[in-house]
Amino acid sequence: MSLATAQATAFEADFERFEQAAGASAPAWLHDLRRQAMDHFRAQGIPGPKHEDWLYTNTTPLAKSLLPIAPRAVEVPGSLAAHRFTLGVEEGTRLVFLNGRYEPSLSSTEGLPEGVVLVHGAALRDEEHADLRAELGTVADPAKHPFAALNMAYLYDGFVLRVPKGVVVEKPVQTLFLHSPVGQAVAVHPRVLVVAGENSRVTFIERYGIDCIGALAGGTCFTNAVTEYVLHQGAHVRAMRVQHEGTNTYHVGLTAVQQARDSRFDSISLSLGGAIDRNETHVALQDTGAECNLNGLYVLGNEEHVDNHTVIRHEVPHCKSAQLYKGVLGGKSNGAFTGRVVVAPDAQKTVADQANHTLLLSDHAVAETRPQLEIYADDVQCAHGATIGRLDEEALYYLRSRGIGPRTARNLLVHAFASEITEAAEDPQLVEGLEMLIASRLEGRANRPEDAQ
């Protein structure tokens, strides 16, 4: 979809302003990178309704409001307690970004094992890191993904985490990308690169939220995040992604993963709603023995829309992928899942599993599911399954017959449905942290029994 002229003009003007104001203090390599990325974005535009990959998401609101880049936050919150940011894990490294800018007063970079490199804030925009010019975008290709291109065009802050060979990072590294309201609709483009060296181990948690929900009245916000993972031989990365920016927000997130021999990538993505939440995960299994396990849970109400889109490429023999995505849909929400698995012609002995299960809490919610298996090898084991169901009335009756009220009974059953995903976090603190987030969503703004009618 090409932009209407007036919008295009405003958009170009915003980009120029960014390049000359906030983004000006950048070395030549970064200006180059941005301008080249902007060319890629112009060439592709916002994908329209006829684009097969965007079948379930109407991008018109995004195209209409290619929002200006967010200005610096006016107010820095004194604490992050309200966001339950730490997911139960108090210690360890945490990086907080407000309106796309690193906020040192809320962050802590302590506790990383020796050798682990963390580059963020102004350092990222340093001449010294010119090699990032070649490195960024190798996994999330801006030429093939318009939103990745847009993200790169606005590259300002974010961070790079490098875990050297053999290093085990015990505590999760956590990040929080927060919108701080500025009274108008704005965009942020968070960028992360995680490089896990040979046989290294790390757990990385990304969270996307809003500093103060009520204050969004001045307009919505748009987050366009790109996270790239490079896993070297034998590396094991656990990735957790939580999106809870709120019911009126736009979010496009791309997680792009590249895996070497015997590496393992385990992910959990939790989407707690939004006007549009496009949650994309691309994994390239590039050498034998690589394995990925993608888990996703989306809990929606109101008129929210989440579109999970995965692409897993089995490029070589003997790799394994598993996907389990579960949706809990209340109100008039819409939850979509597209899972593409591409098995290259010589990728024999591939094992690929895919499942998408939806729990409908209301008669007005809609679930869509689309497996896309493109299998060009013959000796493979590929399976997919999808179910759409409602809460089990007999189970509800059973719980209520023990004195449990209908609302608690429903929530217990929803938690039971979600538990397969939350338990994939394994670490009891993380499991509990995820459960609390889901509970606050269920007890909060949506999916109340009245929504379920």
Q: Which residues bind to another protein, rule: CB under 8 A? A: 392-395, 397-406, 408-409, 412-413, 415-420
Residues 6+ apart with CB under 8 A from 195: 160, 161, 162, 163, 229, 230, 232
Question: In the complex with another protein, which residue's Cβ is closer, 112 or 414?
Answer: 414
Q: What is the smallest separation between the CB atom of 282 and another protein, expressed in angstroms?
A: 30
Which of 415, 397, 419 is closest to 406 using CA atoms? 397
Burial pattern 25-57, b for ≥16 Cβ within 10 A else e, equals ebeebbeebbebbbebbbebebbeeeeebbebb
With beta carbons less than 8 A apart as the criterion, state whether 159 and 165 touch: no
Which of 442, 330, 341, 334 is closest to 382 using CA atoms? 341
Question: In the complex with another protein, which residue's Cβ is closer, 221 or 324?
Answer: 324
Q: Residues, the chain, total? A: 453
The packing angle between helices 406-422 and 393-400, to 10°, is: 120
As a dihedral over the C-alpha atoms of residue 435, residue 440, residue 442, residue 444, rounded to 10 degrees, the angle is 180
Question: In the complex with another protein, which residue's Cβ is closer, 281 or 295?
Answer: 295
Specify the DSSP class assigned to residue 139: S
With beta carbons less than 8 A apart as the criterion, state whether 232 and 75 touch: no
Question: In the complex with another protein, which residue's Cβ is closer, 14 or 420?
Answer: 420
Q: What is the smallest separation between the CB atom of 436 and another protein, expressed in angstroms?
A: 15
Q: What is the smallest separation between the CB atom of 364 and another protein, expressed in angstroms?
A: 24
Torsion-angle region of residue 399: left (phi > 0), alpha (psi -120 to 50) or beta?
alpha
Q: What is the smallest separation between the CB atom of 398 and another protein, expressed in angstroms?
A: 4
C-alpha distances out from residue 9 to 14, 95, 166, 202, Å: 9, 35, 50, 43
Q: What is the smallest separation between the CB atom of 324 and another protein, expressed in angstroms?
A: 14
Residues 6+ apart with CB under 8 A from 402: none
**3-state secondary structure at position 349:** coil
Measured between alpha carbons, how far is 165 from 172 in angstroms, rounded to an integer? 18
Question: In the complex with another protein, which residue's Cβ is closer, 52 or 393?
Answer: 393
Q: What is the smallest separation between the CB atom of 435 and another protein, expressed in angstroms?
A: 11
Q: What is the smallest separation between the CB atom of 357 and another protein, expressed in angstroms?
A: 12
Question: In the complex with another protein, which residue's Cβ is closer, 222 or 298?
Answer: 298
Measured between alpha carbons, how far is 293 from 240 in angstroms, rounded to an integer? 12
Question: In the complex with another protein, which residue's Cβ is closer, 250 or 417?
Answer: 417
Angle at 244 between CA 313 and CA 187, to 5 degrees: 80
Q: What is the smallest separation between the CB atom of 304 and another protein, expressed in angstroms?
A: 24
Question: In the complex with another protein, which residue's Cβ is closer, 114 or 393?
Answer: 393
With beta carbons less than 8 A apart as the criterion, state whether 256 and 140 touch: yes
Question: In the complex with another protein, which residue's Cβ is closer, 376 or 397?
Answer: 397
Which of 18, 246, 54 is closest to 150 using CA atoms? 18
Angle at 68 between CA 102 and CA 183, to 5 degrees: 80
Q: What is the smallest separation between the CB atom of 409 and another protein, expressed in angstroms?
A: 8
Question: In the complex with another protein, which residue's Cβ is closer, 65 or 419?
Answer: 419
Q: What is the smallest separation between the CB atom of 391 and another protein, expressed in angstroms?
A: 11
